[in-house]
Amino acid sequence: MLWKMVKESLGGEDIRELHVENGTVVDCRGCSYKTCIHYSEEKSCFYGGIMVKEILPAIEEADCIIWLCPNYNDAISAKLMAVINRMTVLYKRVKFGDKTLFSLVVSGNSGSDCVAKQLIGALNINKGFRLPPYFALTATANDPGSIMKVPGIGQKAKEFAENVKREIKK
């Protein structure tokens, strides 16, 4: 629901949504460096699938990526971590410094800061994504639909979208 609010405020931006919640992304196999470089040169990955057909090409084309991170146990979900781990094949041929990192983190109680820090570690520090000020919008909503009861959430979503637009034009 929070993403829907942000997306509406992004207006005419070219948005491509990718869903990994259905279990189609297999975690990284941990290929040797030489093997991973081989797959990188082939624009592929050991496991292939949705990562090679949709997700990796979308990351290559993107100016920014907005990670939608539900927080269940103060950690990035295993499915999203699998995507991050599998991005290693791009690392040697794509400049991530030209791509801006954003995130929406919704927690049931607390821990949004833990998830945001994990994204910074995995994608900014480790992979080199550009980290703008106010890269994350966090909220606490512990029941379905309760995000709509967060004070000022509509305005916060709009301001976050405006920050996204401003930062990707830099």
Residue 169 has pLDDT above 80, yes or no: no
Q: Look up the pTM and report it.
A: 0.91
Q: What band does 33 get if pLDDT is binned at 50, 70 and 90?
A: confident
Considering the domain delimited by 2-6+63-80+92-168, tell me its CATH architecture. 3-Layer(aba) Sandwich (3.40)
Angle formed by the axes of helices 153-168 and 2-10, nearest 10° = 50
User: Average pLDDT over the chain, rounded to whole?
Assistant: 92
Residue with tokens 């995130």: 103
Residue 66 has pLDDT above 80, yes or no: yes
What are the angstrom distances between the C-alpha of 8 and each of 4, 66, 134, 144, 150? 6, 14, 19, 20, 18
28 conformational bin, left if phi > 0, alpha if psi -120 to 50, beta if neither: beta
Average pLDDT over residues 72-80: 90
Amino acid 138: pLDDT: 96
Residue 33's identity, in one-letter code, is: Y
Structure tokens at 57: 């090409």
Residue 80: partners with Cβ closer than 8 Å, 6 or more residues away: 20, 67, 69
- pLDDT tens figures, 92-147: 788 899 999 999 999 998 899 999 999 999 999 888 999 999 999 999 998 889 99
